[in-house]
Copies of this chain bind each other. A is one copy, B any other.
Amino acid sequence: MSTAEVRPTRQRADKARNRSHILDVAEEFFSQHGVGGSLETIAKRAGVGPGTLYRHFPTREALIAALLQARYEQLFDRFGIIKAESSDSNHALEQWLDALGEYVTAFDGLPAPLRVALSEESSPLAITCQAFITATDELLTAAQRDGYARPWIRSRELFLSVLATAWLRGAALADESSSRALRAILRSGWAEPAPTAE
């Protein structure tokens, strides 16, 4: 039994086609209407019944998670680049948090489900979040080692803070100057205050 032939049962072509098409439509629809948009409308636009949509993505979170999957790799490419090219660990962490903040605002209303996912083991978005925290931790630890980040900061809370800042941006304050001010507050929140004051 241990080496049981699990039966290959290749996936049907129409299934793959539908899934991919639903994702395309959802990508566009969520971009326009935020992640709270009607799933039925997405199904309709994709030319499938609601049943099909729910079979592929049992919950809204599952659909969002699938959409993020694609961008996920881009983000981690960026992680690699930031790590490699940044002049110091301070700069690297800054860059990474910016990238994260951007990612997390890919769709309007995205921060909310991500926040929920962080407290629910089962959510398909949870795994994604965990990876973000792990990546953040790597850069944070380096920055702390070099005296750039306050030693008591933990990566989980840092990620949450980025999420919260992104949440504030959403729809509410298109205002660019507010947005910059909030980033600045967050930055002074984690950064060690210029110890090399001289």
Chain A residues close to B by CB (< 8 Å): 112, 115-116, 118-119, 150, 152-154, 156-158, 160-161, 163-165, 167-168, 171-174, 178, 181-182, 184-190, 193
Contact = CB atoms under 8 A, between A and B. Distances in A.
A117 to B, nearest CB: 9
Contacts of A171: 116, 119
Contacts of A193: 193
A152 B184 contact: yes
Contact of A178 (B112, B156, B165, B188): B156
A118 B174 CA distance: 11
Nearest to A166: B164
Nearest to A175: B119
Nearest to A173: B119
A181 B157 contact: yes
Nearest to A187: B189
Closest 9 CB pairs of A and B: A189-B189, A193-B193, A164-B164, A185-B189, A157-B181, A119-B172, A115-B172, A188-B189, A164-B168
Contacts of A172: 115-116, 118-119
Nearest to A150: B188
